[in-house]
Structures are given as C-alpha cells and as structure tokens.
C-alpha cells in the first residue's frame, strides 16, 4: 500500500520533471551549487547527505523543490523559493523581513529556518528529514539568485528582454540563459555542472578558511539566511537593474550586460555551494553530537561495570 503510493508519487515526479521549469536558478545552477557543496563536505557531511538522500545523486536531489512546487500536495511550498523585497531599485535596495516575508505562506528565509529546525528535530521521520534536506539544497541555492530577493516586476519575470535571438524575460536569463551560455548546453547538464563546480572549487585557494568564514551556527538560521538574502538583493541596485527597468527592457542582454553579469553569477554560485556545505557539515556535527548525547544518561562503560558487578 505504502509502496504503491510512493511509486505513484515517483512516476508523477518523473513526469513533471519533463516539464521545464523557469522560475528558479535553472537546473544547471542548482546542480552546480550541489556538486560544489559536495566538494566542500567533510567525510561526516558526505555520510550525512548519502544517508538522508538514500544515495540519490545530490544534484538530482537539489531539483526536488522545483519538481513538486506545482503539485497540489506541495503547493504550500511555492512561496518558499524567494523573498519579495518591496524596495525601490535602483534608488534603494534592502530587505525588511516584517514587510517582505509573506505572513501567511512564508518566504525563502523562513523556509530555511523551518527546514533546518525540521531536519534537526529527532522526532522527524527519516523520509521527512530527507525531504527537509532536499528543500535546503534548493533554497540555499535560490537565495543567492539576486532576482529571488526582489518583488519589483515580479522579480523581473515581467520585464521582457532579448538574449541573442531569444525573446525571454530578465528573471529567466538570470536563472538559466546566462548560466547555460557560460557553462554549456543543457543536453550535457550534469557533466557541465560537475565541470563548473570542480573549476570553482579549484579556484578557491584555501578551502578550510573559506568554509570557516561561513555561517555554521544552526541556532542562527534566521540571521544567516537574512544575511545571504541581503547580499543577493544588493546586486539588484548595483547591477541587475542599475539603469532601471528602461536599461534592460526589450534590450539584447547577451553581450555587455552578460559580460558583467556572469561574474556576479559565478561569485554567487560559488558562495551558495560553500555556504550550503558549511551548513550541511554543521548539521552532520549536530546529528553526531545528539546521538552521543543520548548515550550520556548511562554510558556503555557504566553499563559494562554494572553488568560485571552482577556476574
Ligand atoms: C493549496 O491548495 C489548496 C487546495 O487546492 C488551497 O486551498 C490552498 O489555498 C493552496 N495554498 C496555496 C499556498 O496556494
Ligand atoms: C519594516 O517594515 C515594517 C512593516 O511595514 C515597518 O513597520 C518597519 O518600520 C520597517 N522597518 C524598517 C527598519 O524600515
Ligand atoms: C514548516 O515546514 C513544514 C513541512 O515542510 C510545513 O508543514 C509547515 O507549515 C512549515 N512551517 C512554517 C511556519 O512555514
Ligand atoms: C519536533 O517535532 C515535533 C513533532 O512535529 C514537535 O511537536 C516539536 O515541537 C518539534 N520540536 C522542536 C524543537 O522543534
Ligand atoms: C567525524 O568523522 C570522523 C571519522 O571519519 C570522526 O573521527 C569524528 O569524530 C567525527 N565527528 C565529528 C563531529 O566531526
């Protein structure tokens, strides 16, 4: 019964994965973030991921949130992919959590806090922890896409632009087109993501130091994710809409605009991968420590001593 239910769910997921999604870092971006994170994982972090994902490829797991967002049973998660900053670019950027995080359904910041708490909670089932990790793999990516931290023009979805000969919109080129132009065609997406991730990892001169500089205090999920969102949002004023809507609307952005943008994309993908790894490594340490903690009441040694006294 349970089995047939979940295989029905999986065929639904398989079906929906054929529908291209254009609302988040595209799948190339998410896969790259996930592969980059796995380069930075500690051995305990890798084990933690493999256990929670039942050995599913990490880049595949990072796409879960996009695959389910339009399903009725996951529709509560649709608003978790972004935060709608009601700021005023390019004059003024900034996030105000009270103003911008949807009171009803939440936003990407509250979702990261919630899913972090959920995966750390010992009464969460293994399956639900796997789901929480899949959400985190995705949202720690999206929170680094500048247009996922902006309400104006529906995060750029309502701004028509050209990319070469293609008629598209500003949001979409930041999710997908610019990344594909930079890292390679979609047909070889997994291989291209892995190559890109390895290149970003190799470009970092001091892995331990970069990791140590990132948030790893799981009790500060709100502060950390707000900081990440702020950083992404700053790029809206500094680059994405620096010449206002008029500067990009109906323009071909595949040349000069792309040349500047791709540096930002690269920096943000790189931060996302590193921050995701620091976060997951911290979750793994927490999981190990709480397992040790649960033995503290009566340690193995004490138990052995008591047993010997009985003999
Ligand atoms: C999700 O779907 C249910 C039932 O169709 C609906 O009542 C609810 O408002 C939807 N929630 C969101 C956040 O869209
Ligand atoms: C944030 O938004 C709330 C609600 O709109 C407002 O009351 C508050 O003054 C804002 N805070 C800042 C620092 O602008
Ligand atoms: C936290 O996540 C769970 C499941 O993913 C969801 O049911 C719940 O409504 C969320 N809570 C908040 C406050 O977003
Ligand atoms: C853990 O989850 C249980 C069941 O959903 C809930 O009642 C409890 O409040 C959670 N604990 C924490 C610390 O979030
Ligand atoms: C992580 O794993 C290693 C063995 O690979 C172990 O020695 C170490 O104590 C583990 N725990 C933490 C918290 O890193």
Query: Which residue's alpha carbon is nearest to atom 1 within ligand 5?
Result: 44
Measured between alpha carbons, how far is 215 from 70 in angstroms, rounded to an integer?
31
Q: Are 239 and 264 spatial neighbours (Cβ–Cβ below 8 Å)?
A: yes
pLDDT-derived band of residue 54, with 50, 70 and 90 as boundaries? very high
Give residue 256's pLDDT.
98
5-310 domain in CATH 1.10.575.10? yes
Dihedral sign of CA atoms 81, 86, 90, 91 in order: negative
pTM score: 0.88
Residues in CB range of 291: below 8 A, 6 or more apart: none
Domain ranges of the chain: 5-310
pLDDT-derived band of residue 10, with 50, 70 and 90 as boundaries? very low
- For a ligand 5 pocket test, name from 281, 288, 292, 293 the mutation site with the most ligand atoms within 8 angstroms of its C-beta: 288
The phi, psi pair for 214, rounded to 5°, reads -95, 160
| pLDDT tens per residue across span 165-203 | 999 999 999 999 999 999 997 678 999 999 999 999 999
Nearest ligand to the CA atom of 48:
5
| pLDDT tens per residue across span 259-281 | 999 999 999 999 999 999 999 99
Q: State if residue 44 touches ligand 5 by the CB under 6 angstroms criterion.
A: yes
Residue 291 has pLDDT above 90, yes or no: no
Give residue 19's pLDDT.
39
Q: State if residue 184 touches ligand 1 by the CB under 6 angstroms criterion.
A: no
According to DSSP, residue 205 is labeled S
Q: Cα dist. 73→9, 77, 195 in Å? A: 11, 9, 35
* First-residue to last-residue Cα distance in the chain: 48
Distance of CA 172 to the CA centre of its chain: 17
> At 160, is the secondary structure helix, strand, or coil?
strand
Q: What is the CA radius of gyration of the chain?
A: 21
State the catalytic residues: 25, 30, 66, 69, 81, 138, 142, 148, 171, 175
pLDDT-derived band of residue 296, with 50, 70 and 90 as boundaries? low
Measured between alpha carbons, how far is 259 from 44 in angstroms, rounded to an integer?
39
Q: Residue 95 class from Cβ within 10 Å (0-12 exposed, 13-18 middle, 19+ buried)?
A: buried
Residue 254 has pLDDT above 50, yes or no: yes
Q: Are 31 and 190 spatial neighbours (Cβ–Cβ below 8 Å)?
A: yes
């Amino acid at each position: 019964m349970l089995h047939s239910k979940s295989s029905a769910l999986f065929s639904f997921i398989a079906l929906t994965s054929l529908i291209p999604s254009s609302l988040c870092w595209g799948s190339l971006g998410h896969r790259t973030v996930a592969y980059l994170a796995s380069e930075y994982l500690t051995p305990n972090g890798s084990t933690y991921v493999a256990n929670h994902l039942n050995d599913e490829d990490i880049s595949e797991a990072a796409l879960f949130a996009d695959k389910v967002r339009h399903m009725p049973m996951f529709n509560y998660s649709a608003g978790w992919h972004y935060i709608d900053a009601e700021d005023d670019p390019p004059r003024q950027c900034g996030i105000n959590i009270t103003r911008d995080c949807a009171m009803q359904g939440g936003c990407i910041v509250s979702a990261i806090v919630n899913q972090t708490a959920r995966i750390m909670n010992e009464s969460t089932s293994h399956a639900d922890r796997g789901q929480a990790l899949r959400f985190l793999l995705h949202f720690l990516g999206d929170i680094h896409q500048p247009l996922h931290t902006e309400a104006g023009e529906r995060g750029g979805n309502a701004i028509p632009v050209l990319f070469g000969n293609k008629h598209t919109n500003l949001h979409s080129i930041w999710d997908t087109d610019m990344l594909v132009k930079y890292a390679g065609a979609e047909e070889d997406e997994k291989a291209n993501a892995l190559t890109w991730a390895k290149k970003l990892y190799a470009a970092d001169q001091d892995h331990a130091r970069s990791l140590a500089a990132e948030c790893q205090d799981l009790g500060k999920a709100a502060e950390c994710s707000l900081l990440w969102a702020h950083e992404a949002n700053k790029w809206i004023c500094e680059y994405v809409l620096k010449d206002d809507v008029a500067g990009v609307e109906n323009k071909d952005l595949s040349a000069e605009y792309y040349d500047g943008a791709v540096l930002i994309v690269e920096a943000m993908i790189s931060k996302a991968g590193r921050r995701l790894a620091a976060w997951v490594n911290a979750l793994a340490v927490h999981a190990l420590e709480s397992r040790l903690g649960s033995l503290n009441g009566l340690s193995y040694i004490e138990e052995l001593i008591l047993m010997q006294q009985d003999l």
